[in-house]
């Protein structure tokens, strides 16, 4: 994918250099996992360099989500039990959560609901990928986690304008995307895609961030983007409605079952999806608890 220029809104902002970078532990972990000769000890070595990450990793590994028969205290053992894709999900979640919360403090009080929605979308996207046999493994989780990351940037650097966009949703028949564009001249999908390009994330994840509100534009990445878009919709329904401007963190577009069939490339049985959604609750609660 060609390099993405920053939206004009960000281009001349004096503090744009303060945006979080992709955590080095995540970059190194991905590099180790790409080596066909790597072992569980190699991955444990990377994680153990960050004691806080290692502690949260073990806390989540011992949560109700995984339900081991006895507590796991050894990191290498946990890696073997969990499998590499689950390890990748945990490290991605903890690293991204910490990077943004430490690098861009919450000034508006919206961040908690943002993370609830993002983690819900990540878990649901991963479950959808599995149910539909799309084969995106960790990508579906990562794309779901980061799909709305541009909202943090807009809310942090342009709080007054973003609050104005929130206000438009209350008084006009606009989508969140349209309200952002009307006030800011850009939207969270465009900003998030630019940030993903700065992090050199895979094109597929960049496409999911950019096109989850318009997945017809996703081209070759339509199955993954559609998976994230559908998980996003279900997450809106799973997350309790919040008063006031917090509601702007959720889109008001809707995908039909027919569109989901098109994403899957075959006739889709709604019951399978509903069963997957029913299994998501424990995973979402366990992840959120591990981050506190």
| Residue-level pLDDT at 259 | 67
Q: Tell the residue number behind the tokens 């790597």, with chain if given.
A: 38
Angle between helices 203-211 and 222-238 (to 10 degrees): 50
Q: Can you list the residues of the chain whose pLDDT is less than 50?
A: 3, 238-253
- Residue whose C-alpha is closest to residue 292's, from 112, 143, 73: 112
With vertex at residue 110, the alpha carbon angle to CA 225 and CA 113, rounded to the nearest 5 degrees, is 55
**How far is C-alpha 73 from the geometric centre of its chain's CA atoms?**
28
Question: pLDDT per residue over 246-272, tens digit each?
Answer: 343 334 445 566 766 666 666 666 676
Q: What is the pLDDT of residue 265?
A: 64
Of the candidates 284, 114, 147, the one whose C-alpha atom is nearest the C-alpha of residue 227 is 147
DSSP secondary structure, the chain, as one string: ----PPPHHHHT-TTGGGSPPPPHHHHHHHHHHHSTT--HHHHHHHHHTSHHHHHHHHHHHTSTTT--SS----HHHHHHHH-HHHHHHHHHHHHHHHHHHHHS--SSS-HHHHHHHHHHHHHHHHHHHHHHT---THHHHHHHHHTTHHHHHHHHH-HHHHHHHHHHHHHSS--HHHHHHHHHSS-HHHHHHHHHHHTT--HHHHHHHHHTT-GGGGGGGHHHHHHHHHHHHHHHHHSPP-SGGGGGGS------HHHHHHHHTS---HHHHHHHHHHHHHHHHHHHHHH-
Here the tokens at position 217 are 């534009």
pLDDT at position 144 is 93
pTM of the prediction? 0.82
**Residue 146 confidence (pLDDT):** 93
pLDDT, position 110: 84
pLDDT (tens digit per residue) in 158-171 = 888 888 888 887 77
Quote the Cα angle for 164-169-170, to 5°.
Answer: 95
Q: Go through the domains of the chain in sequence order and give each one's CATH number.
A: 22-90 (no CATH), 104-291 (1.10.3210.10)
């Amino acid at each position: 994918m060609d390099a993405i220029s920053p939206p004009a809104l960000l281009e001349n902002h004096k503090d744009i250099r303060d945006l979080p970078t992709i955590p080095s532990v995540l970059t190194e972990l991905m590099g180790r996992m790409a080596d066909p000769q790597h072992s569980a000890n190699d991955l444990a070595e990377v994680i153990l360099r960050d004691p806080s990450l290692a502690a949260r990793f073990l806390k989540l590994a011992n949560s109700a989500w995984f339900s081991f028969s006895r507590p796991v205290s050894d990191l290498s053992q946990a890696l073997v039990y969990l499998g590499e894709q689950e390890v990748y999900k945990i490290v991605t979640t903890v690293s991204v959560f910490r990077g943004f919360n430490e690098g861009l403090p919450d000034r508006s009080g919206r961040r908690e609901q943002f993370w609830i929605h993002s983690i819900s979308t990540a878990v649901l996207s991963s479950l959808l990928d599995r149910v539909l046999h799309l084969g995106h493994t960790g990508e579906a989780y990562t794309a779901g986690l980061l799909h709305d990351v541009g909202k943090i940037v807009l809310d942090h650097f342009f709080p007054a304008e973003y609050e104005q966009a929130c206000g438009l949703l209350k008084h006009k028949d606009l989508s969140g995307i349209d309200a952002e564009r009307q006030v800011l001249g850009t939207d969270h999908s465009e900003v998030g895609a630019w940030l993903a390009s700065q992090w050199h994330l895979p094109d597929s994840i960049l496409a999911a961030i950019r096109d989850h509100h318009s997945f017809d534009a996703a081209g070759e990445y339509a199955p993954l983007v559609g998976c994230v878009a559908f998980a996003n919709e279900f997450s809106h329904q799973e997350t309790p409605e919040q008063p006031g401007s917090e509601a702007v963190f959720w889109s008001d577009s809707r995908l039909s079952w027919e569109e989901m069939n098109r994403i899957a490339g075959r006739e889709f049985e709604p019951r399978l999806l509903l069963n997957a959604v029913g299994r998501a609750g424990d995973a979402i609660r366990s992840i959120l608890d591990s981050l506190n």
